Structure 1
Amino acid sequence: MSAQQLDVYERYNLYISNEKFFVEPRTKTGSLASNVYLEIDRTTTELRLQNSGETPLLLAGADVIPIYGIVGIVKLVAGPYLVVIKKAEVVGTVNDAEIYHVTETEALPFNKSTLHLTERQSWFNKHFLDMIQLVLATRGFYYSPSFDLTHSLQWLSENVTPDYRSSGLHARADQRFVWNRHLLTPLAANPSLAHFTIPLIHGFVGIRTCIVRGSTFKLAIISRRSIHRAGVRFYKRGTDYDGNSANFVETEQIIEFDRDQNPANRVLTSFIQLRGSIPLRWSQKPNLRWQPLPLLKPTDDQLEAYVKHMRHVKQIYGGKHVLVNLVNTKGREKSIGGELERVSVQANLDFVRYVGFDFHKESSKSLNWDSIGTVLGALLDKDIVEFGYFYSNLANPVETRSQSGYFRTNCMDCLDRTNVVQAMIAKASLRHQLLNLGIVDGSIISLDDLGDFIYIFKNLWADNGDECSKQYAGTGALKTDYTRTGKRTLNGALQDGVNALTRYFKNNFADGYRQDAIDLFLGRVQVQPAQLPSKFEDSVFNVNTNGGAIAGAIFSAAMMMLCVLVSENVTATLFWLIVFIAFMFFIFLHGEEFVSRPKLKQD
């Protein structure tokens, strides 16, 4: 797991001439890193390596942009675009490898003008480009020039061979978590371009330096979102026919401890948890209601969906799995949660243990983190001890130990309740790790006794929850006051209210477009300039029944306000109020027709 050797360059200069792009490797200080540069022909789209000693860079009249790397190449209506990382910031190091957070990108067209496009093609090109930029503007894209962020420490320990680095960083990455995989296709097709091919993960990376009883160590969380069945809250639920679940996230908590403050005596531990949508085939499409009714797909075999997903997870991770289901046992969530319990019993997989935990029911009994943790601990503590964690003494590889089991947690969204419970499980495992490392002793019954450290721990997990929530639901997580403070607070409840309202509007009126953007970015939708989608230009304001209903509601509301403010005519006010209610009743009755829906690809 050495992190000294660079797999991709740390900086580049991008030279833009009328005919070509030139990508020249640079060091962090700006000096030349290699004589070998990448030449991209803007007309033929050919990519090839050149040596400046043999073929000097022709830079007369070229613009120069310092960049951090190449995201990839995307083909839109106007032709290909080169997408580059303009700005990135170091969030910390893991085993001496710097990890960068992408903060600004830019898409540069190969074609120098769009005069060859029709007006309609130009309109589509602009909107498709906006979609690519919308995805990249979402926080949470990370990479490392010298560390494989797509794999866990345990996987790297078990799979690294002497010729491991003979293939490029992208080639050996876990493709489930490479969010720019589609954009990198032209570069990845040529192994000689490996030093220019940077895999990006999407999720969260947080690294903090902690001091506990005189010992200094790093605490890190890395969350990796899967590209399979990726999307937004209400448009991606359940599993697909390949066993992939929506909103699947692998979260790894890492401890890096240098004994006696000597890097030669470094010890690494990590603990992996999984989250993902309830592994059944179900949907919950937005329809203007506060919480749409979740529906199981009646024509699908739910047992098959569950078994396929769990065996898929088993194949990847091995070991045993505890399926922690946090959904309500009453109300609208009951049917989905009950079906999950039914199929888990029927499947009777020997590597899966099902644990139902009605989070809302338990939290209603107490607003305190510790009380919920006590109940949850009684259900899971035995598994936490049995599964263990990954342990690696870099000075003595013989001591390496592996995590033998995994917790897969879900609620309905796999966001708010899930993050609270994952933080609790992580805290319980972390106590065992700190005991083993000698950082704490047996007198520490709970990490809550370590005031400064537990503050860092809880806030790091809350930050992780917020980022994962923004990427899937459009807002920060709910219930983060539980994670940050250990109890329910008034400010937390008020913030939850604001986030819930924001989610309502985004999920109903923006997420169809956002789903289209993700599908385009991940390559699920291929742009065909001669076959542009016909429905993409449709709007709820079109001249049809739906457009008329919205116009009628707006007009009747305006008339009602005029009657109140100007004429003070009670009869007229009541008339327009009734008309307004009638229009709104029609709109909510046909809610699915009025929300923002994906138009490029149907699930």
Structure 2
Amino acid sequence: VCSWPTHARRRCSSPSSSRSVVVWALWCTNPSTRHPLSHCPLWRSAWRQRVSTPPVATGDCGLPAPHPPSGQLLKGQPMTGTLDFYPALRLQRLGSVAVVQPVWESGEPLPALTVDLETGSLAASEHPHVTSDFVPCFGVLGMLRLEGGPALVVITGVSAAGIVREHLVLKVTSTKVLYDTSHKWSKSDKKLLKLLAAGVDPKQYGGSLYFSHAGDITLTAQRAERVAADPQTAAARAWQRADLDVTWNAALARPLLDAGLDAYVPPVFMGFVEQLNGLDFLGGGRQVSLGVTLIARRSRHRPGTRQWRRGADQQSHVANYVETEQIVSDGEGALLSSFVQARGSLPLLWSQTPCLKYKIPLRLAPPSASAPVFAGHADRMVEVHGAVTAINLANQGGREGVLSAAYVAAADAYAASRSGFRLVPFDFHAMCGATNYARLSVLWDELAPDFECYGAFTRDGASGAVAGRQRGVFRTNCVDTLDRTNVVQGLLGRKALEATLRALGV
């Protein structure tokens, strides 16, 4: 559903086209009308102009030839494919074959994705499949191969979540799992099909899935700029540029990626996207209208609920790791600043399996076992973000104190041979109690020097040129990485917003 009325729009250049194309982008804070996104004339018109750019070469299957692969994320994969997105996709069933048919607004068909639900064969068909019996489709999540045959997962409903870096971000609102209903499925396959359907259903376990057909939305603004600045990665396909750590359909998409059919499968991340536009600020005798966007990207490694999922695994992935990006944009939607922070469970080998006891005991692995796991996690964060200030909000005494002491020991051991990771312990309960959040000033005094040093990714409002880069990240945790973490991340987000407003003179 398009949440912007057609009367409110702005003029901009299509950022993803190989040539300068002027398009109309829908832009409104308080929608007064809604209509199906697939039928939005402005949205489809913009993409129609984009895909009308003639390809300079074609591949063996008649599709436009792929860009040279970067080899950074999907080494050796045949990333052939076609245009990043079509104006409309139609999902059809022709016997045992599922067809995802892109169609121009004029009705002219384009090469279709065909999936044989009996054999699992995949192809990009040069012969159009056009029937009057179809269901609107917005992309393919992927395919799962079972013993009895394949199951294809498609996106059948979306809503507009916002415009991020001039790319439309969509939230998945409905999905459909297609399989051969005439086949006699085994008991185990039936369970897997039921689990798959629940896992991708936004009303059950598949909620909060987001994607964009045009932009690298799995990447933060700073990482996306680095990719765009490198000619090799800038020319790569979407799946080669995506951050696979937060791409939740990476495993489901593998059969289509291996077949070179990535163009039909957008990288999808799980998390949160919220955008507020038309926020007016006063300063220097003038009024400035800004927009604030919050994006949370949840790692696909080691997710789970508290107690059941704690600490790190042997691959140094920590439970419920999330990177949150706060974007401030001008009245035209152009990015002015991007501030990134992270949260995740304590990066040690520990567990807290629920039992009948009210106070669930903690189990902590020996330091020798946790040391390489901690080092792997810290190395990865330093490589991505440049420097890390880790804020541990767990209690410094009692049961949680055992964890906190082990965290300090691991950080000290890491610092003895490497740099870039600094641990700041702050006993939140002892310092702030239940409501005395004014005591957070003690923590802020400790963090302020690093905050000033790290800065944020910024662009010049007039030229759009990069004006500054974020040189480090704050990593916050408590035991559950929930309530206490929320408070401190809110503090850091507010400080980042205030810094941006000061830089703008408002």
TM-score normalised by structure 2 residue count: 0.77
SS where residue 170 of structure 1 aligns? helix
The match for 2:167 is 97
Q: Which runs of 4+ in 1 moved over 4 A?
A: 30-34, 133-136, 162-165
Matched, 1:47 2:122: yes
Question: Could you tell me how far apart the structure 2 residues matched to 1:414 and 1:121 are?
Answer: 35
Alpha-carbon displacement from aligned partner over 1:386-410 (angstroms, at most 9, x marks no partner): 1100012375365531101110111
- Tell whether the 8 Å contact from 1:3 to 1:95 is kept in structure 2 after alignment: no
Q: 1:25 aligns with which of 102, 108, 125?
A: 102
SS where residue 256 of structure 1 aligns? strand
Matches within 5 A, 1:312-323: 312-317=380-385, 319-323=386-390
Question: Could you tell me how far apart the structure 2 residues matched to 1:374 and 1:299 are?
Answer: 33
Deviation at 1:199, TM superposition (A): 0.8
Deviation at 1:198, TM superposition (A): 0.8
Letter of the 2:446 partner, please give it. Answer: L
Matches within 5 A, 1:146-165: 146-160=214-228, 161-162=230-231, 164=233
The match for 1:108 is 178
Alpha-carbon displacement from aligned partner over 1:174-201 (angstroms, at most 9, x marks no partner): 111110001101111133x232111110
Identity across matched positions, percent: 30
Matches within 5 A, 1:127-146: 127-133=194-200, 137-146=205-214
- Tell whether the 8 Å contact from 1:246 to 1:277 is kept in structure 2 after alignment: yes
SS where residue 183 of structure 1 aligns? helix
- Tell whether the 8 Å contact from 1:77 to 1:124 is kept in structure 2 after alignment: no
The match for 2:271 is 203
Question: Could you tell me how far apart the structure 1 residues matched to 2:108 and 2:162 are?
Answer: 23
Deviation at 1:298, TM superposition (A): 3.5
Alpha-carbon displacement from aligned partner over 1:184-240 (angstroms, at most 9, x marks no partner): 01111133x232111110011111112212211110111111112233322322112
Matched, 1:86 2:156: yes
- Tell whether the 8 Å contact from 1:4 to 1:96 is kept in structure 2 after alignment: no
Structure 2 spans left out of the alignment, 5+ residues = 1-12, 18-46, 48-83
The match for 1:412 is 479
- Tell whether the 8 Å contact from 1:71 to 1:184 is kept in structure 2 after alignment: yes
Deviation at 1:332, TM superposition (A): 2.0
Structure 1 spans left out of the alignment, 5+ residues = 441-603
Q: 1:257 aligns with which of 317, 330, 344?
A: 330
Question: Could you tell me how far apart the structure 2 residues matched to 1:257 and 1:84 are?
Answer: 35
Alpha-carbon displacement from aligned partner over 1:155-190 (angstroms, at most 9, x marks no partner): 111221346454321222011111000110111113
**Over aligned residue pairs, what C-alpha RMSD do you find?**
2.5
- Tell whether the 8 Å contact from 2:101 to 2:129 is kept in structure 1 after alignment: no
Matched, 1:67 2:142: no
Matches within 5 A, 1:181-330: 181-191=250-260, 193-209=261-277, 210-213=279-282, 214-258=287-331, 266-298=334-366, 300-317=368-385, 319-330=386-397
Question: Could you tell me how far apart the structure 1 residues matched to 2:139 and 2:190 are?
Answer: 29
Letter of the 2:114 partner, please give it. Answer: E
SS where residue 420 of structure 1 aligns? helix
Matched, 1:356 2:413: no
The match for 1:423 is 490
Letter of the 1:19 partner, please give it. Answer: S
SS where residue 327 of structure 1 aligns? coil
Matched, 1:14 2:91: yes
SS where residue 376 of structure 1 aligns? helix
Q: 1:167 aligns with which of 225, 236, 251?
A: 236
Deviation at 1:133, TM superposition (A): 4.2
Letter of the 1:89 partner, please give it. Answer: S
Deviation at 1:280, TM superposition (A): 0.6
Alpha-carbon displacement from aligned partner over 1:316-375 (angstroms, at most 9, x marks no partner): 22x2211100001222211111110122123324212211111112221x7244x03322
Question: Could you tell me how far apart the structure 1 residues matched to 2:455 and 2:107 are?
Answer: 46
- Tell whether the 8 Å contact from 2:177 to 2:197 is kept in structure 1 after alignment: no
Corresponding pairs, count: 420
Matches within 5 A, 1:358-437: 358-364=427-433, 367-369=435-437, 371-393=438-460, 396=463, 399-437=466-504
Structure 1 residues 95, 312: closer, same or farther in 2, change over 3 A?
A: closer
SS where residue 176 of structure 1 aligns? coil
Question: Could you tell me how far apart the structure 1 residues matched to 2:175 and 2:445 are?
Answer: 47
Structure having the higher strand fraction is 2
Matched, 1:343 2:420: no
Structure 1 residues 123, 293: closer, same or farther in 2, change over 3 A?
A: same
Matches within 5 A, 1:502-517: none
Question: Could you tell me how far apart the structure 2 residues matched to 1:426 and 1:58 are?
Answer: 50
Matches within 5 A, 1:435-450: 435-438=502-505, 440=506
Letter of the 1:24 partner, please give it. Answer: Q
Letter of the 1:328 partner, please give it. Answer: N
Question: Could you tell me how far apart the structure 1 residues matched to 2:85 and 2:362 are?
Answer: 45
Structure 1 residues 387, 133: closer, same or farther in 2, change over 3 A?
A: closer
- Tell whether the 8 Å contact from 2:271 to 2:297 is kept in structure 1 after alignment: yes
- Larger radius of gyration, structure 1 or 2? 1
> Highest relative contact order (Cα 8 Å, sep 6+), 1 or 2?
1
Question: Could you tell me how far apart the structure 2 residues matched to 1:338 and 1:300 are?
Answer: 15
Deviation at 1:423, TM superposition (A): 1.0
TM-score normalised by structure 1 residue count: 0.65
Structure 1 residues 42, 405: closer, same or farther in 2, change over 3 A?
A: same
Question: Could you tell me how far apart the structure 2 residues matched to 1:63 and 1:2 are?
Answer: 33
Between stretches 160-169 and 378-387, larger displacement belongs to 160-169
Deviation at 1:132, TM superposition (A): 3.1
Deviation at 1:18, TM superposition (A): 0.8
SS where residue 182 of structure 1 aligns? helix
Alpha-carbon displacement from aligned partner over 1:129-154 (angstroms, at most 9, x marks no partner): 45534686442100011111111111
Question: Could you tell me how far apart the structure 2 residues matched to 1:9 and 1:228 are?
Answer: 31
Letter of the 2:364 partner, please give it. Answer: L
Matches within 5 A, 1:113-132: 113-115=182-184, 117-118=185-186, 120-121=187-188, 124-125=191-192, 127-132=194-199
Letter of the 2:135 partner, please give it. Answer: I
- Tell whether the 8 Å contact from 2:432 to 2:440 is kept in structure 1 after alignment: no
The match for 1:56 is 128
Between stretches 73-82 and 2-11, larger displacement belongs to 2-11
- Tell whether the 8 Å contact from 1:8 to 1:169 is kept in structure 2 after alignment: no
Question: Could you tell me how far apart the structure 1 residues matched to 2:389 and 2:343 are?
Answer: 11
- Tell whether the 8 Å contact from 1:281 to 1:300 is kept in structure 2 after alignment: no
Question: Could you tell me how far apart the structure 2 residues matched to 1:276 and 1:237 are?
Answer: 9
Deviation at 1:33, TM superposition (A): 7.4
Structure 1 residues 395, 32: closer, same or farther in 2, change over 3 A?
A: farther
- Tell whether the 8 Å contact from 1:238 to 1:277 is kept in structure 2 after alignment: yes
Question: Could you tell me how far apart the structure 1 residues matched to 2:442 and 2:156 are?
Answer: 48
Structure 1 residues 4, 398: closer, same or farther in 2, change over 3 A?
A: closer
Letter of the 1:36 partner, please give it. Answer: P
- Tell whether the 8 Å contact from 1:18 to 1:112 is kept in structure 2 after alignment: no
